[in-house]
Structure 1
Amino acid sequence: MNKPEKINVIALIPELDKKLFKLLEGLSAEDWEKQTIAPKWKVKDVAVHLLDGNLRTLSMLRDEYYGEKPENINSYQDLIDFLNRLNADWVKATKRLSPKVIIDLLKSSGKEYCDFLATLNLNDKAEFSVAWAGENESKNWFHIAREYTEKWHHQQQIRLAVGDEQKLLEAKWYLPYLDTSVRALPHHYRNVKGEAKDLIKFTFIGKTEKSWFLYYENGWELLTSINAKPKSEVRIGFEHAWKIFTKGMTRKEAIESSEIIGEKRLGEKIFDMIAVLA
C-alpha cells in the first residue's frame, strides 16, 4: 500500500492565473453579468473574489497586516460566518470596478502573489491550517495546495457560467485539485464506523481515471494504492466531483450522477464532503 505524497503546485499557479486572464479578456459585457453556480455571485463577483484572495494573502502573510481580525471565533461555523461576511463586503465594495480594472489588478497582484509563494519553505508550518481537512496545523505545501484549489474551482465556476468548462477538466489542472481535495476524506469519514481492513475505493472518471482509497485500521487512512478488494467503490465523473466538494450540487444530485458498487453505507458518505471553507 502507498500513502499520498506532498503536493507541489508552485509552478502550476502562475499558469493557472494566465488561463484566467485569457478567459476574462475574452468575455463580453453580458458574460460578466452571467450567474454562476455560486447562488449569490455572478461572473464579476467571482473574479473580484479571486482578486481578494491575492490581496489578502499578500497583506496578511507577506506584509503581516491582518486588518480586520476575527473576534469571538469559538467554532468552525463562527469562522465560516466571519469569512462569508468579509467576502460579501468585498464583493459589494468592488461593484464600482470595471472589468478592465479587475483584470489589471488580478495580473499585478497575481504576479506578486506567486512571487511570494515561491519564497515559502514548503515544509515549514503554515500561518493558516487547512481546516476542512481537520488539521489544526498544516505545512506550507498543503496551504499552497489549498490555495490552488481555491483558484481552480473559482475559475471553473466562471468557465461553467460562460460555457468553457472543459479546459480545467484536463488532467494537468484537475488532478492536483482532486489530490488536494481528497485529503479531507479521513477527517470527513472519522465518525463512519468501520471494521479492520475495510477498504473504500474512490474513482474519478474523465479522459483519464484516478483512484484513492480509505483503509480502516483503528481509524480511516488515505492511500493512493493497495492490493486488496474494496468493500465499496464510488465512481464519480470529473464534471461532478468539484461541484460535490464545493457545494455546487445537492447530495441527491451527486448520488444520482454517480455509481456506488458494493456497500452503499460506506460509499455514500463522500457525497456530503466539502473541501472549501463554506
Structure 2
Amino acid sequence: MVTDSSWLGPPINVQPLFPKQQTAFIELLGSLEPDEWIRPTACPGWNVKDVAAHVLGDHIGRLSMHRDRFHVLRPSDGEAFPAFLDRINDDWVTAASRLSPAVLTDLLSFIGDQVVLFWQNVDMDAIDGSVSWAGPEPHPAWLDASRDFTEYWTHHQQICEATDRTGLTDPEYFGPVIDTFMRALPHTLREVQAPERTTLQVSVTGPGEGTWACIRGPKRWVLQRDSSPRPDAYLELETDTAWRLCTRGIHPHQAAERVRIDGDHRLATAALNIVSIIWTPPDSDPFGESRRP
C-alpha cells in the first residue's frame, strides 16, 4: 500500500527508546512499596496497580494483534470504538486484580521485553493500520510506534506522579513525546475553514521544546517541523501544559489560562482542542474527565 503521509511531518524514530523505557518501567515497579500500589492515579477509578495492569493488557494486545495477527475482540453492533476500548480495558483490569504486584511485575518484564523486540523488527515506513487521533486513514508504522511509546510514557508518568517520583522528564523522552502528540494538529484543525497557506505556529518551551507549523493546504492541513516567518496565529505553551492537554490531564479551558496566543485567536484556540489519545468526553460535560488515556 502506497499512501502519502507527508502531511504528518517528518518521521519520528522511537525504536532506540523502547528498551530504555522498558527497563525504567520495570525498575519503577520494583521500587514501589506495598502501600504505593494502591494509590489513586490520574486515570479515574484506577490505582497504580490498575494502571500497570492496563499496560500489560496493551502489551498483550499489541503482540497478539500485530505480531501474531490474532484478532478476536471487536465492538458490538452500534458500539463506538472508544466505548469498546473503555469496556475491554475495564474488563481486563478487573480480571487482573487477582494478580499480586510481584506476579504483575514479572509478567510485565517478560511481555514488555517481547514488545521491545517486536518494535525493533518493524518496517517503520510501512503503511499498516491507523492512529485514530491523527485521522481515519492508514498511517505509517513509525506513527503507530510513536503512539505506543507515548502511551507507555504517559502511564509511567502517571504512576510516578501518584507515588511522588519524577519520571522520564528529560529531553531524550520529552522530545519524542511532544513531537508525537503534535502530529494530531492537522486532524484537530480539520473542520477549521481558512484560506490556503494560512499558518498556525505552535511553540513548546521547556524540556522537549520544539516548534511546529500547521499550514492549510489545498485539501487538508499539513504539519511541518519548523517555524514560520509570518504565521497567522501563534500558540506558545510549556511542555507540562502540552502533554497534560494532549492526554486530557487538563482540558482546553484550563490550558487557555496557561498559554500565549498572538494573531488569529480563533485558529489558535481551535488548536487547544488537540487530543493525542483515544478519548470520549462525557455527554454531560465537554470538559469532563476522560475515561482512560
For the structure 1 residues 96 and 3, does the alpha-carbon distance in structure 2 shift closer, same or farther, using more than 3 Å as the test?
A: closer
> In the alignment, which of 63, 66, 91 is matched to residue 68 of structure 2?
63
Match of 1:82 in 2: 84
In the alignment, is the contact (CA less than 8 A) between 2:198 and 2:216 conserved in 1? yes
Equivalenced residues, count? 272
In the alignment, is the contact (CA less than 8 A) between 2:208 and 2:239 conserved in 1? no
> In the alignment, which of 48, 68, 77 is matched to residue 72 of structure 1?
77
Give TM-score scaled by structure 1 length: 0.92
Structure-1 separation of matches of 2:122 and 2:8: 24
Q: How much identity, in percent, do the aligned residues show?
A: 31
RMSD over aligned Cα atoms? 1.8
CA shift, 1:261, in A, is 2.2
Give TM-score scaled by structure 2 length: 0.87
Structure-2 separation of matches of 1:208 and 1:104: 32
3-state SS of 1:117 partner: helix
In the alignment, is the contact (CA less than 8 A) between 2:178 and 2:208 conserved in 1? no
3-state SS of 2:32 partner: coil
Match of 1:98 in 2: 100
Structure-2 separation of matches of 1:57 and 1:208: 27
For the structure 1 residues 105 and 3, does the alpha-carbon distance in structure 2 shift closer, same or farther, using more than 3 Å as the test?
A: closer
Which residues in structure 2 correspond to 1:161-240 (within 5 Å)?
A: 161-165=162-166, 167-207=167-207, 209-218=209-218, 219-240=220-241
3-state SS of 2:168 partner: helix
CA shift, 1:169, in A, is 2.2
Match of 1:122 in 2: 124
For the structure 1 residues 257 and 30, does the alpha-carbon distance in structure 2 shift closer, same or farther, using more than 3 Å as the test?
A: farther
CA shift, 1:265, in A, is 0.9
In the alignment, is the contact (CA less than 8 A) between 1:3 and 1:224 conserved in 2? no
Match of 2:288 in 1: none
In the alignment, is the contact (CA less than 8 A) between 2:14 and 2:145 conserved in 1? yes
In the alignment, is the contact (CA less than 8 A) between 1:206 and 1:237 conserved in 2? yes
Structure-2 separation of matches of 1:223 and 1:246: 22
Structure-2 separation of matches of 1:210 and 1:34: 34
Structure-1 separation of matches of 2:221 and 2:75: 33
Partner amino acid, structure 2, of 1:199: T
CA shift, 1:71, in A, is 3.6
Partner amino acid, structure 2, of 1:80: P
In the alignment, is the contact (CA less than 8 A) between 2:233 and 2:263 conserved in 1? yes
Match of 2:287 in 1: none
Which residues in structure 2 correspond to 1:149-164 (within 5 Å)?
A: 149-164=150-165
3-state SS of 1:257 partner: coil
Match of 2:16 in 1: 11
CA shift, 1:72, in A, is 2.7
**5+ residue gaps, structure 1:** none
Match of 2:132 in 1: 131
Structure-2 separation of matches of 1:265 and 1:232: 9
CA shift, 1:47, in A, is 0.6
Structure-2 separation of matches of 1:203 and 1:83: 32
Structure-2 separation of matches of 1:193 and 1:68: 38
CA shift, 1:12, in A, is 0.5
**5+ residue gaps, structure 2:** 1-6, 280-293
In the alignment, is the contact (CA less than 8 A) between 1:4 and 1:224 conserved in 2? yes
CA shift, 1:56, in A, is 0.9
Q: Deviations over 1:216-235 (max 9, x none)?
A: 23232111124422222111
Structure-2 separation of matches of 1:225 and 1:56: 35
In the alignment, is the contact (CA less than 8 A) between 1:21 and 1:107 conserved in 2? yes
CA shift, 1:207, in A, is 4.0
When structure 1 is superposed on structure 2, of 17-26 and 156-165 the one drifting more is 156-165
3-state SS of 1:157 partner: helix
